[in-house]
Amino acid sequence: MVRDSAGFTRSASHFTDRITADGRDGWPVEAGRYRLVVSRACPWASRSLVVRRLLGLEDALSVAVADPVQDERSWRFTLDPDDRDPVLGIRFLSEAYRAREDGYDGPVSVPAVVDVPSGRLVTNDYQRITLDLSTQWRELHREGAPDLYPRSSREEIDERMEGIYQDVNNGVYKAGFAKGQEAYDAAYARLFARLDQVSDHLAGQRYLVGDTITEADVRLFTTLVRFDAVYHGHFKCNRNKLTEDPVLWAYARDLFQTPGFGDTVDFDHIKRHYYVVHEDINPTRIVPRGPDLRGWRTPHHREELGGRPFGDGTPPPPPPSAEVVQPL
- Phi-psi category of residue 326: left, alpha or beta, with phi > 0 → left and psi -120 to 50 → alpha: beta
Of 34, 97, 126, 173, the catalytic one is 173
Asked about 173 being catalytic, the answer comes back as yes
Asked about 42 being catalytic, the answer comes back as yes
**Residues contacting 286, CB < 8 A, separation 6+:** 275
CA distance 213 to 208: 8
CA distance 276 to 271: 8
- Whole-angstrom CA distances from 286 to 79, 90, 232, 268, 273 are 21, 30, 16, 13, 11
Give CA 202 to chain center in angstroms: 21
Query: What Rg value do the Cα atoms of the chain yield, rounded?
Result: 19
CA distance 96 to 120: 5
Catalytic residues: 42, 173
